[in-house]
Structure 1
Amino acid sequence: MSTPEFATINWRGRPVRIECQWIAPERTDAPLVVFLHEGLGSIAMWKDFPAQVCEAANARGLVFSRPGYGRSTPRADDEIWDVDFMHRQAHEVLPALFSALKLDDEKPWLFGHSDGGSISLLYASRFPDRVNGLVVLAPHIFVEDVTVANIEQARTAYLSTDLPTKLGRYHDSADSAFWGWNRIWLHPPFREWNIEAEFDTIRCPVLAIQGIDDEYGTLAQIRGIAARVRGCELLEIPECGHSPHRDQPDRVIVAATAFITKNRRQTP
């Protein structure tokens, strides 16, 4: 993987610096896979998993930290995310980042985990002609009680353990990353958040993966995608929690590589 670099976008009325890292950029004719991290993730928290996927799939890769995460511009102290925060990432931040990196003519594959999976789905819904396919790991498509319960436990842990120190290894501001994510998920109006109706416009291939033991959501999440998106493929992995790429990386890499290779061949 290359040394992280930074792109600047204008968002929420101010310049925002986005931490980016390229994988195998020399593969100029290879498909581009863009990795979107989870609700507390960053480039560093992916570790070497994106590089493994790109090597197996003979692809290029782009990994980035969303605003408020990693080494990207932290969330402003008075910036409170609203119920549409994932829509804004999909509809505003991602297009602006692609433009800043001169990727407007690319049709990437999006590889998203958790909130990143939801953002990937929302992007493909809004811009169906700008994406070749999706691989989503443990995405959220509506809010479940089990999700809220575990996010409440995370709040307690952040206030009473060394979790801020641990997160500080991956983010310039652990508070920015944690409270931006935690407060909106525990905001009462967010309980009604549901993006299922938006899937009707998705036209690209979708592979949805979830652990059977996912502590942040039931299998109704990925099965709900399959009910709406024609041809969506599902992979439900036993002995696997909310992070399939950490719990069962080999299975995820094999499945994702086969999916990208198969559908790449079918793409004109």
Structure 2
Amino acid sequence: MGVAATGPVFHPDELEQWAAAASQDTAFQRMSRGLETRFLLASGREAHLLSLKDGHLTVLGRPAPDDSWDFALRGPDESWRRLLSPVPPPGYQSLTALRAIDPGFAWEGNLLRLSQALAALERWVELARWHKGKANGSLAGVPPAAEQSASEQPAGSASREVAAGWGSPVLRDPGQITGKYRDLPGPDGRSSRIYYEEAGQGIPLLMLHTAGADSRQYHALLADVELARDWHMYAFDLPYHGRSEPPDGWWREPYRLTAEAYAHWCLTFIREVIGQPAVVMGCSMGGAMAVYLAARHRDHVRAAIGLQAPDRSPGRITRFLAHAQVNQAVHNPTWTYGLMSPTSPEFHRRRSWWLYSQGGWGVYEGDLHFYSREWDGAAIGPEVDTEHCPVYLLTGEYDYSASPTSTRRLAGRIRGCRFRVMPGLGHFPMTEAPDQFREHLLLVLRELQTDIEGKWREV
């Protein structure tokens, strides 16, 4: 998807307008409170110096030979145009995405200062994109973070939620979700108090959350009245996550998730809480674990559904995910926010951001040890026997951590695997756009339900 190249990327009048919009934006102000930095925006033919001080953004103009700055965002004209287009193509929805997929785009200079300012910078991109689109008539509606329509709001009591163009209204009742605690033994013999939620009846469906998050990511599914008629849904928080507790002595050692430990918690939950083999669905690191369980522990898994499961996902760990000089509650949610689709409802994307802001210190980084370093689809994929344990892989097109290309590569290693790209979705489909994701998931669940119930009748 190309963007017509007309004039400079950063017109001085536009930059002034975008800076003023950011300085008046409550979210931008909150994300940059206490910050003081100077940075450079540089495209192929131009450069502009800006100052950010305690929530106020100022355009200083073209840099002079003796000017200095803390960091620079430098890239080709076309990359900037794609980033700032009203509906950016996949891979250009955020600064973090652009840095990951475009070799011509660079973050230069003091990366600590850049990481401290990352949330504000990404917010500035959203505001600039909206104002640019409004100016050329290609974007209608309200600016980011303004009042959301009722269709984008979460349901309170049982009510119908409708998202325009996403099919039939969805009846959700959060009152059908029940939460419980259970003390479960860990892989090293120490127990942890595990929190889990469940809803529905029928075929057991275990849902695994993403790195650094918790089971609230699945509330839209757990509250789904139609799904609850045929599926007994479970979602638990791993130790250290959400409302689950770490084991005794956790403060004496760094947290690091391994495949062995992760599989232990899943299998223990299946045996001691669910009590029978389950369909396992996970997202991101949870999607990788669903495939892992299908390969190594298939007697406990009826089928595996991997959402955003990569073949491999190197490069997700940086030293700023757990850095004493970087606010983890602001930086880490922004690191994941850029993985989502810009077309997903902002209410849901911001809810995902908020959920990540509540993560325990160092937990997201510790989870990425499994997801970004240990997980290798080339080693695990060929071990899966889909005759015994069917595998479905669903990936949103805007995800650059587990891209469609990466998931397609993983699917190619699993004989009989079924793979589907989800247009318009990103890394957290069940959270960022639950209604749109539901249409894709129902196709899988209905097929599995027919297959599983058929096997029950044969026994």
1:44 maps to a residue whose letter is: R
Structure 2 match to 1:138: 308
2:303 maps to a residue whose letter is: G
Q: How does 1:23-62 map to 2 (within 5 A)?
A: 23-24=199-200, 27=201, 30-52=202-224, 55=227, 58-62=230-234
Structure 2 match to 1:95: 267
Shift of 1:77: 2.1
| Percent pairwise identity | 20
| Deviation >6 Å, runs of 4+ | none
Residues matched between the structures, number: 251
Structure 2 match to 1:180: 366
Give the SS at the match of 1:8. Answer: strand
Structure 2 match to 1:197: 379
Larger relative contact order, structure 1 or 2 (CA cutoff 8 Å, min sep 6): 1
Tell me whether 226-235 or 44-53 shows the greater mean CA deviation. Answer: 44-53
- Closer, same or farther in 2 for the Cα pair 1:266/1:99, shift >3 Å? closer
Q: How does 1:107-122 map to 2 (within 5 A)?
A: 107-122=277-292
Tell me whether 221-230 or 194-203 shows the greater mean CA deviation. Answer: 194-203
Residue 324 of structure 2 corresponds to residue 160 of structure 1: no
- Closer, same or farther in 2 for the Cα pair 1:226/1:193, shift >3 Å? closer
- Closer, same or farther in 2 for the Cα pair 1:191/1:131, shift >3 Å? closer
Shift of 1:152: 5.8
2:376 maps to a residue whose letter is: N
- Closer, same or farther in 2 for the Cα pair 1:249/1:235, shift >3 Å? farther
Structure 1 match to 2:426: 241
Shift of 1:266: 2.5
1:126 maps to a residue whose letter is: R
Unpaired runs of 5+ residues, structure 2, are 1-175, 334-353
2:417 maps to a residue whose letter is: C
Contact 2:205 2:281 in 1 (8 A): yes
TM-score normalised by L of structure 1 = 0.80
Counterpart Cα distance in 1 of 2:426 and 2:324? 19
2:258 to 85, 91, 103: 85
Counterpart Cα distance in 1 of 2:325 and 2:277? 39
Counterpart Cα distance in 2 of 1:219 and 1:81? 30
Residue 190 of structure 2 corresponds to residue 14 of structure 1: yes
Give the SS at the match of 1:101. Answer: helix
Structure 1 match to 2:246: 74
- Closer, same or farther in 2 for the Cα pair 1:240/1:154, shift >3 Å? farther
Counterpart Cα distance in 2 of 1:2 and 1:158? 39
- The root-mean-square deviation of aligned C-alpha atoms, in Å, is 3.1
1:65 maps to a residue whose letter is: D
- Closer, same or farther in 2 for the Cα pair 1:239/1:260, shift >3 Å? closer
Counterpart Cα distance in 1 of 2:434 and 2:252? 38
Unpaired runs of 5+ residues, structure 1, are none
Question: Max radius of gyration: which structure?
Answer: 2
1:199 maps to a residue whose letter is: G
- Closer, same or farther in 2 for the Cα pair 1:156/1:115, shift >3 Å? same
1:214 to 391, 399, 402: 399
Counterpart Cα distance in 1 of 2:271 and 2:222? 22
Deviations 1:240-268 (A, max 9, x none): 22112234423422222221221332231
Deviations 1:197-231 (A, max 9, x none): 22223222222111111132322331122212222
Contact 1:69 1:176 in 2 (8 A): no
Contact 2:270 2:300 in 1 (8 A): no
Structure 2 match to 1:227: 412
Structure 2 match to 1:263: 448
